[in-house]
Amino acid sequence: MPRTRPPLRPTAALPSPDELNALLSFLEHDPAPMMVLDPAYNILAANTAYRRQFGVADASPLGRKCYEVSHHYDVPCDQAGEHCPMRHALERRRADRVLHIHHTPRGLEHVDVELRPIQDQQGQVIAFVERLSTLRSASPQVRADGLVGHSSAFTQALAALQRVAPSNLPVLLLGESGTGKDLFARALHEASERAHGPFVTVDCSGFTETLFESELFGYEKGAFTGATHRKKGLVETATGGTLFLDEMGDVPLSMQVKLLRLIESGTFRRVGGIETLRADFRLVAATHKPLARMVEQGQFRQDLYYRINAFPVHLPALRERADDIPLLVESILARSPAGSPRYRVDAEALRCMQQYAWPGNIRELRNVIDRARLFADDGVIGLAHLPPDTLQAGAPARPWAGTALPAPLPSVARQAPDALRELATRFQGNRKDLAHQLGLSERTLYRRLKALGLAGRP
């Protein structure tokens, strides 16, 4: 297991009671939940917004460790495989921000944490102010709609969206087909200042060149045969909101220059019109194609690429977030119509799903679950109900290297506590290495080892 870092220690005298009360009085005017922490992770104060949103009856957070309250850990976050904003803020003497999964009165939630150090006159850090913001567009719990996930790869993508959401920068979502680019785009819209405006999706692969222009910019009456009235385009419809251009790599070259002009000038004209109209939208584009390579091959305009690539976000493939598969499966099953039978997936079928590469990503997973439900007469989805391709590709275990361990496979250890206990006891590497071998995040492994009473092993 990893070598334990020494806990943070106060580097100067803590704030006096009067100073603490003055600071808390100031924080009471902020609508966001906020706390004051000392450099030893102790919660010194919390404003009313925090107590309303995160408080638990008869369980004051004051005097408790922040990681105990938020994560139910018995060690600081960085010793449990997570980013610790306090350690970074102390080392760098400046603010630090991270997206964490916290325990709240509503269960597990994604929480955006911003930590700012407070320094005395000698420049020594004496306390921290922590500002918390709960994400509503995604959940680490089973949910019937929207984004769900708790893996490291998923959380990194979600954190990137939170960073860029308040700005008006164009965002380019990059990822394989079926990774949920439309859901990420909608989550970005809902986290932005344009959330009350329209969210307009344009499927760039579904239009011919002529139709693309008329659908995007609209047209005037008489502009072409069949244009019997004026029609607003999707750009105009997105006024005050977000325009989501899906499958951006399929935009015809001849249309790319018109799209570039729209983005650069913020103006457009309807087909057949002479009036110049002003656009007002946040641009989000998405593609599964390698746009940089397409630029080199002359298939995509370089100037347009640089305009839409202001803030690229990589969306992980499902094979990069195997930890999320049980959660995704439960969420897909929860989307069954009201009154339909309740289904569950047994351990062996779930193990197989976690080892399969899922080239079709979440879209393929959804199809496999929907198909399996038709065969699971007793309400339990097992190996016999999975497609042959999933069974064959999911059968081999992940390779095991670097240790002389007994027969249990890593996939079994992910599900069986006894197998995990034996592997953790005999494993010669550190916790990070063991997590890698098991295909788990270090945070998930720490949580499971803690349940077995092994989290403190060296």
Same domain, 280 and 380: no
> Do 242 and 116 share a structural domain?
no
Q: Which residues lie closer than 8 Å to 128 by C-beta, 6 or more apart?
A: 36, 37, 38, 39, 86, 89, 115, 116, 117, 118
Give the CB-side neighbour count of residue 79, counting CA atoms within 13 A: 17
Rounded Cα–Cα distance for residues 430 and 54 (Å): 34
Residue 181, phi then psi, degrees to nearest 5:
-60, -35
Residue 79 in any domain: the answer is yes
Q: Where are the beta strands (DSSP E) in 94-141?
A: 96-104, 107-119, 125-134, 138-139
SS3 percent helix, strand, coil of the chain, rounded to 5, is 40, 20, 40
Tokens encoding 233: 């385009």
Residue in the structure block whose two tokens are 């940089």: 292
Report d(CA 389, CA 150) in Å as an integer: 27
Asked if 112 and 25 sit in the same domain, the reply is yes
The answer on pLDDT for 119 being more than 60 is yes
127 and 153 both lie in a single domain: no
* Final residue belonging to a domain, choices 262, 289, 314: 314
Asked whether 169 and 311 are in contact (CB, 8 A), the reply is yes
- Cβ(259)–Cβ(214) under 8 Å? no
Task: Output the pLDDT for position 419.
Answer: 65
Ordered strands of the 43-46 beta sheet: 43-46, 34-37, 125-134, 107-119, 96-104
151 and 268 fall within a common domain: yes
CA angle centred on 357, ends 353 and 360, rounded to 5°: 95
- Tens digit of each residue's pLDDT (9 = 90 or more) over 73-107: 999 998 888 889 888 888 888 899 999 999 999 99
Residue where a domain stops, chosen among 314, 330, 350: 314
Quick count: other Cβ atoms within 10 Å of Cβ 435? 20
Sign of CA dihedral 348, 351, 355, 359: positive
Query: Within this chain, do residues 227 and 347 fall inside the same structural domain, yes or no?
Result: no
| Tokens 């010194």 belong to residue | 44
The owner of tokens 């060296």 is: 458
Residue 397: its pLDDT value, please?
Answer: 39
Domain residue limits at 34? 17-134
State the Cα–Cα distance between residues 163 and 243, nearest whole angstrom: 19
Check whether 256 has a pLDDT greater than 50. Answer: yes
pTM: 0.81
**Are residues 151 and 274 located together in one domain of the fold?**
yes
- Same-domain status, 248 and 340: no
147: Cα separation from own chain's centroid: 8
272 and 193 in a common domain: yes
For residue 23, the model assigns a pLDDT of 82
Mean pLDDT of 234-247: 96
Cα–Cα distance measured from residue 98 to residue 217, given in angstroms and rounded to the nearest whole number: 40
Phi-psi group of 58: left, alpha or beta (phi > 0 → left; psi -120 to 50 → alpha; rest → beta): left
328 in any annotated domain: yes
pLDDT for residue 435: 76
pLDDT single digits (tens) 348-398:
999 999 989 999 999 999 999 999 999 999 999 998 898 887 776 655 433
The verdict on residue 253 lying in a domain is: yes
CATH at 333: 1.10.8.60
Structure confidence at residue 399 (pLDDT): 35
Kindly report the CATH number assigned to the domain that includes residue 232: 3.40.50.300
Is residue 368 included in any domain, yes or no? yes
In a domain, 356, yes or no: yes
Give me the phi and psi of 232, to 5 degrees please: -75, 140
In a domain, 428, yes or no: no
The answer to whether residue 430 is domain-embedded is no
Q: Pick from 285, 265, 286, 268: which is nearest to 277 by CA?
A: 268
For 5-14, 148-157, 380-389, which range has the lowest pLDDT when averaged over its residues?
5-14
**Residue 286, domain member (yes or no):** yes
Question: How many domains, the chain?
Answer: 3
Q: Which residue has the higher pLDDT, 336 or 370?
A: 370
What is the Cα–Cα distance from 401 to 398, expressed in whole angstroms?
A: 10
Residues 264, 360, single domain; the answer is no
176 CB neighbour count, 10 Å cutoff: 18
Tokens of 74: 């018995």
The verdict on 205 and 278 lying in the same domain is yes
> Tokens 């499971």 sit at which residue?
448
Q: What backbone torsions phi and psi does residue 341 show, to the nearest 5 degrees?
A: -60, 150
Task: Look up residue 181 and give its two tokens.
Answer: 């680019």
Which one of 134, 169, 193 terminates a domain? 134
Task: Read off the pLDDT of each residue in 45-62 and give the average, rounded to a whole number.
Answer: 87
Q: Is the pLDDT of residue 5 over 60?
A: no
d(CA 204, CA 28): 48
CB-based contact 102:3 (threshold 8 Å): no
Nearest to 79 by CA among 448, 442, 449, 451: 442
| Residues 254 and 373 placed together within one structural domain of the fold | no
pLDDT at 111 > cutoff 70? yes
Residues 449 and 227: their CA atoms lie apart, in Å, by 67
